Structure 1
Amino acid sequence: MQTTQKRQEAETWAQALLDQMTIEEKAGQLAAFFPNGNKRLGIPHMQHGECLHGMVADRATSFPQALALGCMWDPELVEEVASIVAKEARALGVHHCFAPMLGVVRDPRWGRIQEAYGEDTYLVTRTGVAFCKGLQGMGEERLNRDHIIATLKHLVADGEPEAGLNGAAMELSERKLREIHLPPFEACIKEAQAASIMPAHHALNGIPCHANSHLIEDICRQEFGFEGMIVSDNGDIRKLYTTMKVCSSLEESAKLAMDAGVDTELAWLIPWNENRIYGPALIQAVKDGLVSMEQLDTAVRRVLLFKYEMDLLHDPCAKPEQESLEACYQNVEGDAHVSLAGKTVYYGTKRDDVEEVLQNPQHDAIALKAAQKAIVLLKNQNALLPLNVSALQTIAVLGPNSDRVLLGNYATAKPRHYVSVLEGIRRYVGRSVQVLTSQGCDPDTYLAVDIPEAVACARKADVAILVVGGNEITCMENQDVDDLNLKGDQQQLIEAVYETGTPVVMVLLDGRPSSIEWADQHIPAILEGFYLGQECGTALANVLFGEYNPGGKLSVTVPRNVGQIPCYYNKLIPGRAPDYYQSPVKPLYPFGYGLSYTRFSIHDLRVVSCDPTVEEDVQLAVEITNIGARAGEEVVQLYVRDEISSLVRPEKELKGFRRVFLEAGETRTLSFTLKNRDLAFWMDGRWVVEPGEFTVTAGNSSADEQARCTFAVRG
């Protein structure tokens, strides 16, 4: 946290520079992913990067994708993951990254669902705050040499796009915006002091998010107290004119964005001198009087203040070596570059200790810990899992994802290492068990030529591990779908392997939940991993063979088919009992669901505080006991319902959770606090807590109620 003295020093430094800068030099400070240092004035460079679940750079640690991180239900571990990401980023010469993604995702057809933490506002909020704190640091560690600027994205409500299409226009009520989509941003601003926000691609209620001063200035800055920078998404300022047609020139695009409060521009596929809006267009807009010098100075000042706060003046990775605009296409020593549009773009200068940082074995250990915690056991009929290695002679490891590198969107192309499922199983069983393997089919084509080979392997094996799902082709940014079935001939492969009679364990690795109703009815054991990062195979092998007891919980609902969309758990109470013709209404797997190799009892939920008022917190306690035969982890989930309300509210809403480890037979007491805001809803332009009765339930998923209690709130 900056002291008052340091803030004053920064303001003085920034103003002195502004007094000397030309319009062109000021515009040069507003570039993301391009050189923004100034050699003449000694202004350091601030390098931007992507770090959604690991730094996008060669040999950086690759952690589980965001959707999988959400399945951990473990904010403390998320913060630890993010702190490692930040440390590696700084060593690689990066100061400002575009994460976390705070979309509350309500449509699995959307290709970017994998980048989000889940469908529930509370889960996304707690996970997002943890990631933001880890990236930036808190207190005296904030934005020091081991931390970076976080970017909250995308403002706002990109998680339920119309028809599941990326960038689709959204029409949302103020109530839904406030209750569902804005709370993660508010919490990250107030609790983690987030330093940057990125608007979304789409138009919200007819106004492009990059031209929405109500969102940026009125809500984020004035209401939430945001003091950081607003950075555009890639090329979206330009699209105000070229795509959305809300203005008639590039100069007017610059004006709209500046008026809305967008400080810097990300335009990494647009060459610096070819239609970068915060380049020639902004300069011309200032000269023509469309944008005032005061507006330009405000944006530049925000950038300069963060350069000062991060002490980039003394950062060897931020020296303003690049003088000309064309220098962004020049190589610098080392391999810390990215190739964009066929050109090598300046990507910062690595720190001297970069190898020591990247090769830290603790980073790999945390990546493995996160991968194991993210795995969700969906089905385990007759306790097929864990597998007993000593009872096996032959294992068949089959499927299109059994031996592939699967990291997900915004991941390094060259991780330091990657363990596939096949490799992880081979390492675990060693020479004691024969491992047969066949891909069977592709995940994205209809070439089933290897299915007979996979069937032959399954027939020879004691158990078949069938690894299916998707990849970067079937699920990614701008790769949305109109069904949720497994792609290619994977369903045919699953049925063929099942027909052999060999016990089958199905492992799902994908960027989105898939409709697997047939598999749920026939396959005895199913694991969901989404994308587990570099330690994927090791983590799954540890779970398959009982080295690690799975405890992950779904961060999204898994629908039976695409017709159930939207199928998030906390819809408003309907006016009539829902019903589909010849099809269940309930999803295949509910939000928060996940099994274990042991069993737990959640009981004795009670109110500790008494006679609360609408202004007071409510203190709760609950008991959890491991009633199984082995140690394990459970996620105790608290859901709240307002029994009588002036507006229709959801049947239940997640308002607390705790992941806890217990030995066999152990009992623990967990404490929870329900804050005033946890009981509130948005009505008439403000948050309201109405006096009356509230019900709290505790269980291990949104569909599980093992304990309940009620309390009354007085006015």
Structure 2
Amino acid sequence: MAPYQNDTLPIRVRVQDLLARMTTQEKISQVNQHLYGWQSYTRHGSEFTLTDQFKAHVAWGGGLGALYGLFRADPWSGRTLENGIPAAQSATVSNMVQQYVITHSRLGIPALIVEEAPHGHQALGAVSYPTNLGKSNSFDPALIAQCAQLQAAELAAKGVHLALVSTLDLLKDPRWGRSEETFGESPTLTAAYTQAVIRGFQGDLISDDCFLDHPADANRHIGVVIKHLIGQGDALGGHNAGTVPLGEREVREVYGPLVASIRHAVGVMAAYNDIDGVPCHANRQLLTRWLRTANHFQGLVMADGTALDRLTDLTGSVAAAAQQALTAGVDLSLWDDVYTHIDQALAADPTLMTALDTAVARVLAVKFLLGLFDQPLVSPSEAAKLPKIITASHQANAKLAVESMTLVKNNGVLPLARNQKVAVIGPHTASIYDWLGDYTAPQAPDQFTSLTDAVRPYASQVCTALGSQLRVGVPDQDYRWLDEAEDCASESDAVILTLGGSSARAFDMHFLTNGALAAPQGNTDTGENVDLADLSLSADQLSLLRVIKNTGKPLIVVMVQGRPYDIRPVLAIADAVLLAWYPGQAGPQAVADILFGQTTPTGRLAISYPRSSGQLPVYYYQRHAAKNADYLDESGAPLLPFGAGLDYTTWIVHSLSLTHDLIEQRTAITVTAANTGQYDSSLPLLLFGRFRGTTVLPREKQLLATRRVTIPAGQKQTVTFTVPDTALTYYDAHMRSVLPDQVTFSVGDQTQTIITRYFHVKEN
């Protein structure tokens, strides 16, 4: 037995032994994730065979570093319910792939199976959760961690090792098509959710103690690759992969908490964009000095899809691009050609072997950590757990879908009375995919309940109509759509109208080599590479809204969306407005349950909701300056502030008090929340701090902590937030981390100010 095969030895020793045995080509293979995973197999009925293309790629490298998208099913991959991998056969196919790789590797090195899981596994039969922008409205990291844990169990039963999950991007400009993938605008909240996702997927797999110094755990594990590092949501103009001109202070203060939050992740994916002119994939300051040295990150850095090929525009050659990326700290490619030509870079600069060895060592270390060498295949007993895992996932998903929705208007029409005639109208009533967001697999009919069917048990009679399309306009031959919708509404006692957008992808669409939509197509107006200049709803949707309002029936509008649209016309005439975002498979049922009072709406906005694209940005932590915040033709304030949201009950927050502990260097902020209404419910409490007495322009306010409390009707609860002094620092004119002269704490309309001159915080 070679040392690398001895599971009692520390991972570091096993890596060093294996690395010393490898040829240069075997090393190059380990840092490559070149092949699209769905190209690895063909399906004939219920039988699967490995393709010649897959076998040739394994032969090229004498093994395989990682394989992305083996189970991916969507219009880009071309995998459907008919030719993709059913959930029940996932373990069989992954074992087939793994067995081939191991037996055709001279040293028996297994491959990492890597899959997209931004809001559930992008595969057949998987559970589709709300997209992040909806999840963030829950202010419930514990539930998000629980859902991540269930996703990890699902992936493990299928033979997956790494889950790619978007958490790091901030929603600074909602014109950006990938807004739905963000947890909103707050660095503090996003960091908390990121830690919850890592904890859910990985447990305590990685801690501050270096995992290389210990033997690998005997069990198989799932690792999460957090994306994207960093700044995509700051791109100028809301352009996908656009340039990001952030200065050092902004990067440290806004993105510092996010980089710190991924310390224990198995992996992180670099972002397409630059930071102040330097592409993230070529940014050693970001990927090595800040991520690894300053924040003690121990995992691997993965490239985004074909991002390394984009470096050739900067470098002029694939060899120079490979050199830049390896030197910066990119350990694993994704679909690009650049890392397949590392041999050219080595020929030009043999000293690059040190950087290659470092990258290979990180990939191998992750494979040992996740148990691939010791348990490379999925056991029958583990695969058999999948049906129970899916059932449990649906239950958690239903709860998360409810918590992700935010009620922003209610003139008393909600909750709706039951056993009345209800009209369900709108462009989202016909397609399940308009509810699910980007990165979604084909859905079997039994995976989804339509809004019409979800409403039926609550109503005596239901009629339904489309009324309009989302973007392309109603064809001339379908001019009766509006008439049909008007008739349906007129015959009903109340109307539920869906408006908004869609990230749906169709099989006749065209895609780029990284899977992004090639150009605007059909009704799709959200998702990767689908940016908007104008946040207004389409003219057809607004016409439908006015026609339904003119019937005089109570009108409830449900916004199904992946970014905030201009909803001023909606708020002006609807009786109630529920922001459902893209709520996933459980979304329509969650909408019905909320509207009919089966449950209460508890979501709160994780963004500052804009009035229009013309007033952007409106995020809450902009710097405080002596400026005219308003425009001649528009208010500068958001339409709805961060944290806004209504409930069926009423709340009073009172009795805020502060105590500071000089010895422990922390402040305790205590506040009482009282449920003064008639419904049991939950309330997210948000603690803000406003810094004053600084040497640079301070931010208007900063979110310091959140707490979700569940309180029965007529009762109250006292909550204490504990804030360390280090959380109250800012970067001064000399780029030192120091305290302001004073901090004003607030929860709701309750405020208290504390003077910080007696605090003791070590300067950085």
Q: TM-score, with normalisation over the residues of structure 2?
A: 0.82
Give matches, 1:376-525, under 5 Å.
Answer: 376-381=406-411, 383-390=412-419, 392=420, 394-405=421-432, 406-414=435-443, 417-426=447-456, 428-429=457-458, 433-447=460-474, 449=479, 450-472=481-503, 473-487=524-538, 489-525=540-576
Matched AA of 2:755: A
Distance in 1 between residues matched to 2:198 and 2:430, nearest whole Å: 33
Aligned match of 2:395: 365
Q: CA deviation at 1:7?
A: 9.1
Residues 24-53 of structure 1 deviation map (CA, whole Å, 9 limit, x = unaligned): 111111123744345221111111111111
Query: What is the aligned partner in structure 1 of residue 329 from structure 2?
Result: 261
Say which SS state the counterpart of residue 182 (structure 1) adopts.
helix
1:98 is aligned with what amino acid?
L
SS in 1 for 2:429: coil
User: For residue 60 of structure 2, what is the aligned residue in structure 1?
Assistant: none
Q: Secondary structure of 2:427's partner? A: coil
Q: Which amino acid aligns with 2:439?
A: Y
Q: After superposition, what is the alpha-carbon deviation per residue over 1:62-114, rounded to whole angstroms, capped at 9, x for unaligned?
A: 11111111111111111001111111111121101221321121000000010
Give the distance between the partners of 2:9 and 2:613, measured in 1 at CA.
56
Deviations 1:645-666 (A, max 9, x none): 2211122111111111111111
| Secondary structure at 2:356 match in 1 | helix
- Give the superposition deviation at 1:16: 2.3
Instruction: Give, as a single letter, the amino acid of the residue that structure 2 aligns with 1:668.
Output: Q
**Contact 1:378–1:525 (Cα < 8 Å) also in 2:** yes
Compute the displacement of 1:608 (Å).
3.1
- 1:359-418 CA-to-partner distances (Å, cap 9, x unmatched) read 43221110000000111001001x11101104x1x1000000124212112223236612
Residues 615 and 634 of structure 2 are in contact (CA less than 8 Å); yes or no, is this contact kept in structure 1?
no
Q: What residue number does 1:252 align with?
A: 320
Q: How far off its partner does 1:11 sit?
A: 2.2
1:712 aligns to 2:755 (yes or no) = yes
In structure 2, the CA distance between the partners of 1:414 and 1:680, relative to structure 1 (3 Å rule), is: same
Corresponding residue of 2:254: 180
- C-alpha spacing 1:477/1:655, structure 2 compared with 1 (3 Å): same
- What CA distance in whole angstroms lies between the structure 2 residues aligned with 1:223 and 1:140? 17
Q: Deviations over 1:239-269 (max 9, x none)?
A: 100xxx22121111100100101011011xx
Summarize the Cα distance change of 1:103–1:579 in structure 2 as closer, same or farther, 3 Å threshold.
same
1:314–1:546 Cα change, 3 Å: same
Distance 1:203 1:218 in 2: 16
Aligned to 1:18: 19
Q: CA deviation at 1:571?
A: 1.2
Residue matched to 2:587: 536
2:650 equivalent to 1:599: yes
Distance 1:182 1:691, change over 3 A: closer
Query: Which deviates the most, 107-116 or 349-358?
Result: 349-358
Is 1:27 the equivalent of 2:28? yes
Task: Tell me whether 1:99 sits opposite 2:165 in the alignment.
Answer: yes
Residue 167 of structure 2 contacts residue 190 of structure 2 at CA under 8 Å; is this kept in 1? no
Segments of 5+ residues of structure 1 without an aligned counterpart are 271-275, 318-348, 700-704
- CA change 1:291–1:523 in 2 (3 A) is farther
Cα distance in 2 for partners of 1:145, 1:411 equals: 30
- What amino acid does structure 2 have at the position aligned with 1:94? V
How far 1:499 moved relative to its partner? 1.0
- TM-fit CA distance, 1:139: 5.3
Residue 376 of structure 1 contacts residue 551 of structure 1 at CA under 8 Å; is this kept in 2?
Answer: yes
Q: Give the match for residue 200 of structure 1.
A: 271
Q: Aligned residue for 1:56? A: 122
Flag the 1:526–1:691 CA change in 2: closer, same or farther, 3 A: closer
Alpha-carbon spacing, 1:100–1:129, altered in 2? closer, same or farther (3 Å):
farther
Distance across 1 between alignment mates of 2:585 and 2:441? 10
- Do 2:629 and 2:636's aligned partners in 1 also have CA atoms closer than 8 Å? yes
Residues 176 and 695 (structure 1), Cα distance of their counterparts in 2 relative to 1, 3 Å cut: same
Mean CA deviation greater in 528-537 or 147-156: 147-156
Q: Give SS of 1:389's match.
A: coil
Out of 728, 741, 750, the residue aligned to residue 679 of structure 1 is 728
Moved more, 394-403 or 358-367: 358-367
- Conserved 8 A contact 2:220-2:371: no
Name the SS of the counterpart of 1:455 in structure 2.
helix
1:567 Cα deviation after fit: 1.1
Secondary structure of 1:672 counterpart: strand
Give the TM-score taking structure 1 as reference length. Answer: 0.88
Local SS of the residue matching 1:246: helix
CA distance in 2, matches of 1:525, 1:479: 29
CA shift for structure 1 position 314: 3.2
- 1:49 is paired with a residue whose SS is strand
Partner of 1:695: 744
Task: Indicate how the Cα distance of structure 1 residues 146 and 599 shifts in structure 2: closer, same or farther if over 3 A, else same.
Answer: farther
Amino acid at match of 2:468: C
Distance 1:617 1:447, change over 3 A: same
1:490-525 superposed Cα distances (whole Å, 9 cap, x missing partner): 111111111111110000111111101011111110
Asked whether 1:78 is paired with 2:158, we answer: no
1:569 pairs with 2:632: no
Partner SS for 1:414:
coil
Q: Which residue of 1 aligns with 2:292?
A: 221
Cα distance, 1:236 vs. partner? Answer: 0.7
- The answer as to whether partners of 1:92 and 1:351 remain within 8 angstroms in 2 is no
What's the % identity of the aligned pairs? Answer: 31
Q: Give the conservation status (yes or no) of the 8 Å contact 1:469–1:508.
A: yes
Measured in 1, the distance between the counterparts of 2:649 and 2:31 equals 54
498-507 or 138-147, which moves further after superposition? 138-147
Residue number in structure 2 paired with 1:232: 303
The answer to whether the Cα contact below 8 Å between 1:397 and 1:422 also exists between their aligned partners in 2 is yes
Q: Distance in 1 between matches of 2:486 and 2:722?
A: 53
Aligned residue type for 2:301: I
CA contact (8 A) 2:220 2:372 kept: no
Q: Is the 8 A contact 1:100 1:131 kept in 2?
A: no
CA deviations on 1:100-140 (whole Å, 9 max, x unpaired) are 32112100000001001010111111111111111111159
The answer to whether the 8 Å contact 2:232/2:241 transfers is yes
- Cα distance, 1:586 vs. partner? 2.1
Residues 258, 298 of structure 1: alpha-carbon distance in 2 compared, 3 angstrom cutoff:
same
Write the distance in 2 (CA, Å) between the matches of 1:401 and 1:443.
Answer: 8
- What RMSD over aligned residues (CA atoms) do the two structures have, in Å? 2.1
How far residue 145 of structure 1 moved from its aligned partner, in angstroms, is 5.2
Secondary structure of 2:463's match? strand
1:288 counterpart residue number: 348
* Aligned amino acid, residue 52 of structure 1: P
5+ residue gaps in structure 2?
Answer: 1-5, 36-63, 66-100, 212-216, 504-523, 760-764
Q: Give the match's secondary structure for 1:519.
A: helix
Deviates more, 1:147-156 or 1:520-529: 147-156
Return the offset for 1:585: 2.5
